[in-house]
A = this chain, B = another copy of it.
């Protein structure tokens, strides 16, 4: 049995806690949170503390707080030489205050409050200072997910940047599409199957090879009529720069 304490009780922490309680080999022993969450049983509530001094040494501390707070929070720990990991894709391993052994336990997914996720399919990226610590992280990760990867800080940073493109920026393109539909009285949901197909296709085809549309066909007439159709100067600019980039990218094939 691996004993785990969770520091912070936001979105990621809550999802991890729900996943851990379903396992047979992980026991959550303490949870640090400034406020007591609602909707938990008495037994679960007994795990909570808002006092750093009451945190006891244990096998693994998972610090699931905002990136900016990791350093400050881990400085408050009174214990020494424990394995302390954060859950951030962007923060380096050494933002964890020295005095403890640091590591990273980064589940690569967007977590929406109150929407249950199936951790089995969520990739977890691990990093540790030594093999023994890595083994602990791996056992914990594998007990909730079947996609566990050793990812060093440089690789994790690249993943984080890539995730901004494929998740945050993609969502913004959806928002633009939705607005265009709204203005023209077309239900955006007509585009849902296309959006889904585009996203699923990359599981079997390299995105570079899956590229379709007027930009890659160099269909000048269609692109001009699209630019004429768009009123928003911002959207025109996005249309031009992405078109240019698609045409530029294909040269790398």
Task: Name A residues whose Cβ lies closer than 8 Å to a Cβ of B.
Answer: 67-68, 90, 108-110, 112, 121-123, 125, 147, 149, 151, 154-155, 157-181, 183-203, 205-208, 210-216, 219, 221-222, 225-226, 229-230, 234-235, 237-239, 241-242, 244-246, 248-249, 252
Contact in complex: A166, B190 (CB < 8 Å) = no
B215–A168 CB distance below 8 A: yes
Q: A193-B121, A199-B195, A199-B196 are in contact. Are A226 and B173 (CB under 8 A)?
A: no
Shortest CB-to-CB span from A169 to chain B, Å, is 5
Distance A167 CA – B199 CA, assembled complex (angstroms): 9
Contact A192 B181, beta carbon cutoff 8 Å: no
* Contact assessment for A170 and B168 in the assembled complex, using a CB-CB cutoff below 8 Å: no
**Would A125 and B159 count as touching, CB distance under 8 A?**
no
- Expressed in whole angstroms, the minimum distance between the Cβ of A30 and any Cβ of chain B is 29
Chain B residue contacts of A215, Cβ below 8 A = 168, 172
A123 touches which of B160, B178, B190, B235 (Cβ 8 Å) = B190
Contact present for B167 and A189 (CB under 8 Å)? no
Closest beta carbon of chain B to A225's beta carbon, Å: 7
Q: How far is the CA of A193 from the CA of B122 in the complex (A)?
A: 7
A166 pairs with B198, CB closer than 8 A: yes
Chain B residue contacts of A180, Cβ below 8 A:
158, 161-162, 165
- Return chain B residues, CB-CB under 8 Å to A244: 234
B166 touches A213 (CB 8 A): no
Which B residues lie within 8 Å of A241 (CB)? 234, 237-238, 241
The main secondary structure of chain A at its interface with chain B is helix
Contact indicator B193/A109 (Cβ below 8 Å) = yes
Q: Which residue of B lies closest to A245 (CB)?
A: B234
Q: How far is the CB of A113 from chain B (nearest CB, A)?
A: 12
Determine which of B161, B199, B208, B230 lies in contact with A198 in the assembled complex, contact meaning CB atoms within 8 Å: B199
With A198-B199, A222-B90, A225-B90 known to touch, is A177 a contact of B163 (CB < 8 Å)? yes
Cα separation A212 to B159 with both chains bound (whole Å):
16
Taking the closest CB of chain B, its distance from the CB of A187, in whole angstroms, is 8
Which residues of chain B come closer than 8 Å to A187, judged between CB atoms?
Answer: 149
Question: CB distance B149 to A190 under 8 Å?
Answer: yes
A-B residue pairs in contact (CB < 8 Å), sample of 5: A108-B191, A161-B180, A162-B188, A168-B216, A169-B239
